[in-house]
Amino acid sequence: MRIKWFKILVLVLSINLLYTCANRGRPSGGEKDIDAPLITKEVPENFSTNFKGNEIRIYFNEYIKVKNLQKQLIISPPMDTEPTVTPLGSASKYIKIIINDTLEDNTTYAFNFGQSIVDNNEENPYEYYRYVFSTGDVIDSLSVKGTIMDAEKLKPDTFVSVMLYELDSTYTDSTVYKQKPKYITNTLDSLTSFSIDNIKEGQYKLIAIKDENGNFTFQQKSDKIGFYEDVISVPTDSTYTIKLFKEVLEFDAKRPKQIAGQKIGFGYDGDNQDMTIELLGDVPEGFEKRITKDKTKDTLYYWYKPKIEIDSAQFVIRNNTFVDTLTHKFRDIERDSLIIRAVQSGIINFTDDFILEGTVPFVNIDEKQVTILDKDSINVPFTTSFDELMNRCHFKFEKKESDNYNIQILPNTFEDFFGHVNDTLNYALRTKTLADYTNIRVRLENAEYPVIVQLTTEKGEVKYEQFGTEPRLFDFKNLDPNDYYIRVIYDTNGNQKWDSGNFLLQQQPERVSYASGIVEGRAGWDYPEEIFKLD
């Protein structure tokens, strides 16, 4: 009897096991873990003094990982040789830090881990953990606090390094180009405020850098910079606002390149407004040149004719105080052919010019060969203007609602630098109704003139702008319906553009103010007035 019941029990268990295997389901696993890991021990203890070793261990109550350490970990003062931190990418119940640098005497060091420490399963972060120790008898406890802004854009960059340079006998303004700061912190990816902690009493220069290379020094070509003009005396109860800006690069000419036949490219850094290019030596009889600019790159093109039958030549590049002589080796390659393109196609706004641009410089434009007809085949009068540097011809004419415009350009209208002409060109444009657009009126209060009033996107892209030298209404007509931000530039020098700052000159950028909130530009709106009260 017992053997029989035993056989039945084995059979039931076997069937149950087979059923379970055949119906595999995902176990519930209980509630999701939302708790951050906890520190159980630090060796040496956090905020230790008279630190003499080279190893630190931080123990946790569960397995943790360290993520994105290169961006998140900020060590103040920075170390010349980075410490070794483990684990990286794997799980462990402790973090080990091996210090590979020689530590300074009587100095407080802070390891700011940001949000890099997470638990192994759900990646709940142990946020903004700081490990602090001193090589001397005391932990420095003073701090400098403030806010980061962008001098031009609505929102500042993330991961901005904020630094204090000690104003000792070795400090000059050029120090930021080649030496690491005394103290440093980082705004990480979600903060605009900063606090540089555990610093000692003294006088400092406060600087912020969007440090693209991660080397804690200012590289003009890649980094933004911001600074406080005066000396910071610590201790201080003040809070400081730093505006980041991108400097205009110091002018520099690049080695010329043969781009096409009888066309040389001269790349440059900085502002090309006063840049000149002069060919040295003898030139062929009847020599002519033209200079145009690339639409997107910092390059001027030097066009010449006739062909120069020598291997190389020297060019002198000048720009204000800059002078340099560059050697160019000629290459026998094919010349560019003339291609004419329309900047717009399809719909044209009432206030826009129709623009044609060419791949080779224009030298003659015969307006009599151009006809513009509306939808009723009536001739539309027009005027032209020519932008020689950009090699663009502008056609200005009055446009009406819901109209079509056919533009015909007969052969030989355009003659290029090498004597080539165009074939017949035809373009079709049309306009919308006024009700398809929006109008926005801006009234400024407490403004200091001259100003530039701009309508921008959230990212700061300028869509429309107007310049004003005295109080008036700024009426923006026939705008594409969209959400806009109002930005006002205090154009101190009246040159109708925003001027950036310069650290070596201790020159701040021109002031920029944004109106609070979004302006909703809706189709059919007629001048909803926006009043912008400036500080």
Q: What is the pLDDT of residues 175-198, one digit of tens each?
A: 999 999 999 998 877 778 999 999
Q: Which CATH class is domain 437-533?
A: mainly beta
Alpha helices, DSSP H, located in 464-515? none
Identify residue 392 by its one-letter amino acid code: R
Q: Quote the tokens at residue 387.
A: 């932008």
First and final CA of the chain: distance in angstroms? 99
* Beta-carbon count within 10 A of 333 CB: 11
Q: What is the pLDDT of residue 31?
A: 64
Q: What is the pLDDT of residue 36?
A: 87
Phi, psi for residue 175 in degrees, rounded to 5: -60, -35
Q: Which fold is adopted by the domain 252-329?
A: Immunoglobulin-like (2.60.40)
Identify residue 348 by its one-letter amino acid code: I
Q: What is the pLDDT of residues 237-284, one digit of tens each?
A: 999 999 999 999 999 999 999 999 999 999 999 999 999 999 999 888
- With a CB cutoff of 8 Å and minimum separation 6, the contacts of 65 are 87, 89, 90, 91, 92, 117, 118, 119, 120, 123
Q: What is the pLDDT of residue 12?
A: 46
Q: What is the pLDDT of residue 33?
A: 66
**Across 299-316, average pLDDT:** 95
pLDDT of residue 3 exceeding 60: no
**Across 463-486, average pLDDT:** 94
**Across 387-393, average pLDDT:** 97
Q: Taking all residues of the chain, what is their mean pLDDT, rounded to a whole number? A: 91
What number does CATH give the domain 340-432?
2.60.40.1220
Q: What is the pLDDT of residue 21?
A: 46
Q: What is the pLDDT of residue 16?
A: 52
- Per-residue confidence at 535, pLDDT binned at 50, 70, 90? confident
Which residue ranges does the chain devote to CATH 2.60.40.1220? 39-134, 340-432
- Per-residue confidence at 413, pLDDT binned at 50, 70, 90? very high
Give this prediction's pTM.
0.82
- With a CB cutoff of 8 Å and minimum separation 6, the contacts of 371 are 379, 407, 408, 410
**Across 470-479, average pLDDT:** 94
For every residue of 136-148, DSSP letters joined together read: SSS---EEEEEEE
Percent of the chain with pLDDT over 70: 93
Measured at the alpha carbon of residue 75, what is the angle toward residues 73 and 77, in degrees to the nearest 5? 165
* Beta-carbon count within 10 A of 310 CB: 10
**Across 280-306, average pLDDT:** 95
Listed in order, strand segments (DSSP E) in 255-298 are: 257-260, 263-269, 276-279, 288-293
- Per-residue confidence at 27, pLDDT binned at 50, 70, 90? very low
pLDDT of residue 13 exceeding 80: no
Alpha helices, DSSP H, located in 23-165? 69-72
Q: What is the pLDDT of residues 351-388, one digit of tens each?
A: 999 999 999 999 999 999 999 999 999 999 999 999 99
- Per-residue confidence at 477, pLDDT binned at 50, 70, 90? very high
Percent of the chain with pLDDT over 90: 79
**SS in 3 state form for 367-417?**
HHHEEEECCCCCECCCEEEEECCCCEEEEECCCCCCCEEEEEECCCCEEEC
**Across 34-58, average pLDDT:** 94
Asked whether 42 and 58 are in contact (CB, 8 A), the reply is yes
pLDDT of residue 485 exceeding 90: yes
Q: How many CA atoms within 13 Å lie on the side-chain side of 420? A: 13
Q: Which fold is adopted by the domain 39-134?
A: Immunoglobulin-like (2.60.40)
pLDDT of residue 2 exceeding 50: no
Q: What is the pLDDT of residue 510?
A: 97
Q: What is the pLDDT of residue 123?
A: 87
Q: What is the pLDDT of residues 137-181, one digit of tens each?
A: 999 999 999 999 999 999 999 989 999 999 998 999 899 999 999
